[in-house]
């Protein structure tokens, strides 16, 4: 028996979420539907221009860890915060979700990361992230016993922005594979893929990463093509398993010559897409670490994504395990 099903590693971020219209994005030079990296000065500026906002602990991999725990899985998380109010909020929230989190905070400066997320009327989210203390995550924060005792270690592609985090991930991969475990990553964002395409491909082709999560745009960006079928064939050849989400069409999962097309779970209203990909990964990895079929993993992922899309904020407010039972998935 392993101690954990899924360990996730990522940027520990508190989300500050507000609604706006498309003109606001244009006026403030915000790239829609992307993760825009910003400095402290711009963070203050955008915060001053925000309307009423909701604060919620987020961060891509943190959301995934919380989602796994919500399904009833055993999850752990590595991510760096500062010794400040937002850092305390983040640590409290992720532990309250049932996630094992013991990464030591890093002083008071730089402060805990925050992301100003603007949600437009179509439910699309545009993120503006000040990384702050996130950039301090390094190999010294890798708890070797946790990595060795997790079935899958999952990390976000966003970690390739802070330089020392790469060292931490490579150390995780070394420990994970030495103990017969698996590594997984999400490509995170098509702009992120554009910045690190060659490195991401090397992680996959070298066997450093076994399972890859992407959405359609990220997969197309990875292979610099407009042909989705071509991208699916290439990604199937480059990693053990790939799960590619396709928005309202659901997801396509490939393993070698196997392919599973899984329809999206129906939703009543598309409120906020923040965390949709993170929760898809949570559902998929929960199913995978419980020995479920790839098709069932995709269904669990689509269910979790649908639930989080119907609310504001990146972490489901309802029980995912109860929802999965309701729809006959558990």
Average pLDDT, the chain: 96
Residue 17 lies in a domain: no
How many domains does the chain fold into?
1
- Model confidence at 210, pLDDT cuts 50, 70, 90, reads very high
Total number of residues shown for the chain: 330
Helix (H, G, I), strand (E, B) or coil at 143: coil
Residue 40 lies in a domain: no
Residue 123 lies in a domain: no
Q: What is the pLDDT of residues 174-185, one digit of tens each?
A: 999 999 999 999
Q: What is the pLDDT of residues 150-197, one digit of tens each?
A: 999 999 999 998 889 999 999 999 999 999 999 999 999 999 999 999
Q: Residue 304 is part of a domain; what is its CATH number?
A: 3.40.1190.20
Token code pair at residue 255: 């393993």
How confident is the model at residue 161, as a pLDDT? 86
Q: What is the pLDDT of residues 212-265, one digit of tens each?
A: 999 999 999 999 999 999 999 999 999 999 999 999 999 999 999 999 999 999
CB 165 within 8 A of CB 140: no
Q: What is the pLDDT of residues 44-100, one digit of tens each?
A: 999 999 999 998 899 999 999 999 999 999 999 999 999 999 999 999 999 999 999
pTM for the model: 0.94
Question: Alpha helix (H) ranges present in 157-254?
Answer: 163-178, 190-205, 216-222, 228-238
Q: What is the pLDDT of residues 12-37, one digit of tens each?
A: 999 999 999 999 999 999 999 999 99
Residue 272 lies in a domain: yes
CB 35 within 8 A of CB 130: no
Range of the domain at 252: 4-11+60-108+136-327
The rounded distance, in Å, linking the Cα atoms of 110 and 105 is 11
Residue 52 lies in a domain: no
Residue 50 lies in a domain: no
How confident is the model at residue 56, as a pLDDT? 86
Task: Find, among 50, 53, 95, the residue nearest to 77 by Cα.
Answer: 95
How confident is the model at residue 256, as a pLDDT? 97
Peptide bond into 202 cis (omega under 30): no
Residue 20 lies in a domain: no
Residue 170 lies in a domain: yes
């Amino acid at each position: 028996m392993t101690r954990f099903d899924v360990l996730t590693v990522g940027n520990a971020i508190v989300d500050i979420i507000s609604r706006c219209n498309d003109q606001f994005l244009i006026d403030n030079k915000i790239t829609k539907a992307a993760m825009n990296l910003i400095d402290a000065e711009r963070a203050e500026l955008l915060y001053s221009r925000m309307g009423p906002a909701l604060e919620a602990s987020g961060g891509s991999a943190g959301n995934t860890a919380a989602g796994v725990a919500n399904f009833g899985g055993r999850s752990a998380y590595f991510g760096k915060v500062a010794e400040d109010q937002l850092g305390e909020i983040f640590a409290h929230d992720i532990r309250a979700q049932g996630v094992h989190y013991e990464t030591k905070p890093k002083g008071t400066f730089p402060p805990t990361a925050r992301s100003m997320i603007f949600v437009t009327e179509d439910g699309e989210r545009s993120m503006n992230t000040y990384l702050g203390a996130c950039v301090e995550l390094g190999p010294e924060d890798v708890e070797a016993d946790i990595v060795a005792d997790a079935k899958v270690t999952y990390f976000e592609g966003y970690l390739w922005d802070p330089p020392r985090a790469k060292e931490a991930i490579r150390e995780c991969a070394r420990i994970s594979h030495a103990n017969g475990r698996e590594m997984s990553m999400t490509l995170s964002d098509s702009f992120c893929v554009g910045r690190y395409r060659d490195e991401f491909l090397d992680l996959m082709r070298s066997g450093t990463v076994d399972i890859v999560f992407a959405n359609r745009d990220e997969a197309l960006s990875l292979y610099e093509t407009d042909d989705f079928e071509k991208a699916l064939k290439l990604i199937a050849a480059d990693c053990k398993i790939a799960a590619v989400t396709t928005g309202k069409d659901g997801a396509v999962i490939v393993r070698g010559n196997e392919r599973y097309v899984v329809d999206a779970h129906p939703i009543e209203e598309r409120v906020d897409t923040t965390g949709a990909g993170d929760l898809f990964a949570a559902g998929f990895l929960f199913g995978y670490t419980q020995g479920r079929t790839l098709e069932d993993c995709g269904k669990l992922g689509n269910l979790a994504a649908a639930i989080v899309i119907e609310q504001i904020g990146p972490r489901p407010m309802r029980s995912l395990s109860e929802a999965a039972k309701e729809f006959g998935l558990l």
